[in-house]
Chain A
Amino acid sequence: MHQPDDELEQELRRLAARAEPVPAELVQAAEDAFAWRDIDAEIAELVYDSLLDAEEASLVRGPAEQRMISFTAGGMTIDVEVTGAGPGRSVMGQITPPQRATVEIRHRQDTVTVEADELGRFRSGTLPPGPASLRLRPPPGAPGPPIVTDWISL
């Protein structure tokens, strides 16, 4: 350890804490995130996001391109296509194997509920940008726990 280095780093830390502290409303939001836990649900993990996992070359296309995201839980796959930019996004999804489900799209301001048809297809209306997660409930009478996807940023 070099003492002068530690002192200089501490000086920088003090400056950063004053000049650009963590906004208080974000600390509050992080505390509130705990309330979103759904301990009964199975998690559908994010396994593919074209934004990060697509070939570099395909990322330099125009702004209108769609983003493809896949989640898996057990034997189920949820493929989602996100379109739109600026203040409005929309989501189109496919559950595989195809099945009916109630899909709750949870986002910062609200929860939007849509139904997946017998082919496992669903689509949202306009959603605001920001954190979002899907929660799938099997139709009444069908077995199995609800499934929640990893949170993504729309």
Chain B
Amino acid sequence: MTDTALSLCNVSKAFGQMQIIRGVNLDIKKGERHAIIGPNGAGKTTLFNLISGRFRLSSGEILLNGARVDHLPPHRINRMGLSRSFQITSIFHRLSVFENLRCALLWSMGYRYSFWTPLWRQRELNARTDLMLEQLNLASRRDTLAGLLSYADQRALEIGMTIAGGASVILLDEPTAGMSNTETDNAVELIRRVSKGKTLVMVEHDMKVVFDLADVITVLVYGQVIASGPPQAVRANPAVQEAYLGALAA
């Protein structure tokens, strides 16, 4: 059990009469790079919102590193080692790139709600923020307001903010959506680099990205898992071909 990072047991979610997630069972191993794919409206983002605590489950259980998290608010789940990015870029627009990343480091470095610690004198915090900037290739944009960055840079910043806190499980919601081919390649490279040694779960539409990055692929259709396994097995699965990949090819 201990090598399972994230475990979903019979997870369901309904909005009113609408059943969005219908009894999903999923185990994600530690260190695995796991992609969740499926047609539009399959409930991929909803599943992320359930795992990260943004929505409450209708029924079922979610375990993070063996501990139940499905009743906890997002910030508590985050403190237990799970972090996520958003489909729509979610950064602090009126703060500089440096401040964005530094905010992402604060909790994990134990600053909590301190209103007496002068940030400018925290050497280790500031050095680590600058190191992150280097890793993200954003050092030259250090003092730019995040809202003024190019789209690709904003996405890179968001990935950086997602991993900065040192979470062991990372959820990325369509990290390359809306990017050009070169930008996508850079983003894949970045994700590969920063997710080393971590458990990565991502929702992605770009099949090239999925087959490039993922060790395991889960296919979600109408709120149900129809297949889960290594890329080759999933690609060969007739149900998947019919429901999803076939639809793309047609």
Do A and B come together as binding partners?
no
A-to-B contact residues, CB < 8 Å: none
B residues lining the A interface (CB < 8 Å): none
